[in-house]
Structure 1
């Protein structure tokens, strides 16, 4: 069995979901998402047994383009993140009613198809195609099923679309230039290029623009908070939990190994940008009154730290970044789902209009608190493993980087606990807060189980990703 079967399942699933009609769409989408997850676990076992599950076939002769999918430890880890979160996200939406549900759920599966393709592609043009395809479904999900005023939502979504598309065009130009030098878009051929320091700088910056917008890093983050706020809960979870990881993954897979000289020469600048995002995101989060916007800026702070870890060019930095990517994916999906559960009952996201939920729903309050503690990297949670490793890698470069990066722990704990106090404690809201349903509780328990299991036993993931990251470090250090 090869890894392309996953793409087939998701692609067919998207069409089957649409054809199933509005009443069955959610269940059909859940079935295909779970089927793809089961298939991914089988492929993981085959990979661990030493079988080759990668794919490479000649696709187009002129230009020389291959249908090439690379299934190494790094790509499989991101694959599992995507395919584990997708059914959770779909299941979390079962309590909502959507107009034209068949299109809504079909777009979710198509987006998962495009994101899986992005994580697996090892041909530059194929990778670019999947990268762009992932933008289409989230555009329509946010535009059609989003929240708030239609005009404001339209402005936010169009800004996001134009930003990301414009950044991607620079990446496409970089791939065209690399193709002219290598005669191929294949990743292994691009890795072999001996580009001059000037060439590497321009390639590095072209990639950086695309990735910095997608992650996002400051000052390319201006689309994020408004889109997160206006998108429906499912769209926000897809964006924050999975889609932004495409940019972080791509830094490790494409940018750093292809342009290592530029990465080394300007390391301090890009680490500083990541850490600036940590501080900026945390400070702005402190001032938020809207729960979704607070979580959006919290996410900005966390991904800034992850990006800083990738640009350390150390094995600890890359390993910590990948661990934190996976942990952040589960935490942020859980937190945005919490926000959606509260909105279902109170029909507001303004924190001042909440309060007193703990006295009415202690089970919900307990699960919310555990997610908050995971977000602030409490020991025994998955986030602690990744965050500690990233901070250790920063300390190897400069102690000040580790100190400033560590502010995410202090500031994060302050604004997250303050948010929890305002939302869950205090006087009871005049509206009755109904306890969590079985479906809501089940989704939250699944997320918490992942966070605490891998927080105490991260070895399976570190063993999976480390050989791939060591190969990338070797590639980065091939030219001194």
Structure 2
């Protein structure tokens, strides 16, 4: 099966969604996103059967650039995350009315196309093109359909765009330099380069700037909370659930194998930066009065731990990081959707203006509590598997890394349960709170099901990603 079929479906779906008009756009987008999910599952089946699903075709002769797509277990896992979350995000938005709906749903599919291309690309310049393409739709989604003061929203989105673009330019310079050394942008040719220590340090730093901003890691995180708050919920879901995973994935796929000695030399510093993000994000989350900003800083803490696992440079760290990427993608989309459900009824995101929801909506309260418990890595949930594996990997390097990284569980439990108490319990808000409707309930149930199924049985994902991670680790330790 040709892996390029997935990209074609998402790209064609984006154009047809735009042409379908405002009334049909959401349904057409949902249809194509479900087809894309089906293709991803078919690709997984072909991969498990040992069929060749990669795609390589000459593209540009000078410089030598190939349209090369490689679907190993790691790439397929990220494809499944992308194509599973996209229809959930689209379906969850059915309760929100958008002006010029055909454009926003078209942009959502185009963004999914670009993100899928980023995960599949096996040519450095093709990867860079997909990486940059993913930035364009989220810029317009946040700028045009965002909330709050228009000028404030514009400032936040422009800052995000400039930060991300600036970091990516350093990555482009690194790729140009690597091409001069290898005569090719193909990933295996870049892996085979024998770079000096000085060259590796510069390449490592250039990639780090691009990835640290996208993930984000402190101190490159300053764009994140404001953009998450100002973007429409579908935009926040795309950013937190999938787009930031591009940076974490790229650390493992591109940065570490291309500059392995620099990675080993700076591993402790990178882990420390990740753990600092865990502590900083958790402490700042405690002080937030806006629900979306609290969830944004909670996300910052979780991705800091994922980054620490990636930079641990051992199999458990890689495996835990990828498992946690997928788990975090589902739980953070669920939590931001909960914030959107509350906003639809109360028209506020200020925590102090909420309360007493549980007595009116027991089903919603139960689903929300499950997502909160998953976020704090309760055993039997998917997040527990990922966080435990990452902490175990850190303990193999230095037990204090694991102890400090574990604060994400302690602090996370405190601020998330405190938030739940203020939002769902206590005195009832003067406005009535209607129980979740079919669309809202189904979206939350699907997310909760994934968190429980893979929390209790993560073996299929482990088996899928481990060979790819072992190959990357072998390149690093060559």
Taking structure 2 as the reference length, the TM-score comes to: 1.00
CA distance in structure 2 between the partners assigned to 1:449 and 1:113 by the alignment: 26
Residue equivalent to 1:307? 307
Q: Count matched residues.
A: 478
Structure-2 residue corresponding to 1:291: 291
Matches for 1:8-407 after TM superposition, within 5 Å: 8-407=8-407
* Secondary structure in 1 matching 2:318: helix
Once the two structures are superposed, residues 354-411 of structure 1 have per-residue CA deviations (whole angstroms, 9 ceiling, x without a partner) of 0000000000000000000000000000000000000000000000000000000000
Structure-2 residue corresponding to 1:450: 450
The SS at the match of 1:23 is helix
The residue matched to 1:98 in structure 2 has which SS? coil
1:213 offset after TM fit, Å?
0.1
1:148-181 deviations in whole A, cap 9, x for unaligned?
A: 0000000000000000000000000000000000
Q: SS of 1:58's equivalent?
A: strand
Q: Separation in 1 of the partners of 2:42 and 2:125?
A: 28
Root-mean-square deviation (CA, aligned residues, Å) is 0.3
Deviation of residue 328 (structure 1)? 0.1
| Structure 1: stretches of 5+ with no match in the other structure | none
Tell me the distance in 2 between the aligned counterparts of 1:394 and 1:161.
33
Secondary structure of the corresponding residue to residue 93 of structure 1: helix
* CA shift for structure 1 position 199: 0.2
TM (norm. structure 1) is 0.99
Q: Counterparts of 2:435 and 2:317 in 1: how far apart (Å)? A: 41
Cα distance in 1 for partners of 2:309, 2:384 equals 14
**Separation in structure 2 between the aligned mates of residue 60 and residue 172 of structure 1, nearest angstrom:** 17
Secondary structure of 2:94 counterpart: coil
Alpha-carbon distance in structure 1 between the residues aligned to 2:56 and 2:216 = 31
Distance in 1 between residues matched to 2:201 and 2:102, nearest whole Å: 45
Shift of 1:88: 0.1
Match of 2:434 in 1: 434
1 CA distance for matches of 2:290 and 2:376? 19
Residues 398-457 of structure 1 show CA distances to partners (whole Å, capped at 9, x for unaligned) of 000000000000000000000000000001100000110011000000000000000000
Task: Return the offset for 1:282.
Answer: 0.2
CA distance in 2 between partners of 1:402 and 1:362 (Å): 37
Supply the distance in 2 between the matched residues of 1:256 and 1:175 (Cα, whole angstroms): 14
Task: Please give the secondary structure, in 2, of the residue aligned with 1:122.
Answer: coil
Unpaired segments of 5 or more residues in structure 2? none
* Secondary structure, counterpart of 2:22 in structure 1: coil
Aligned to 1:475: 475
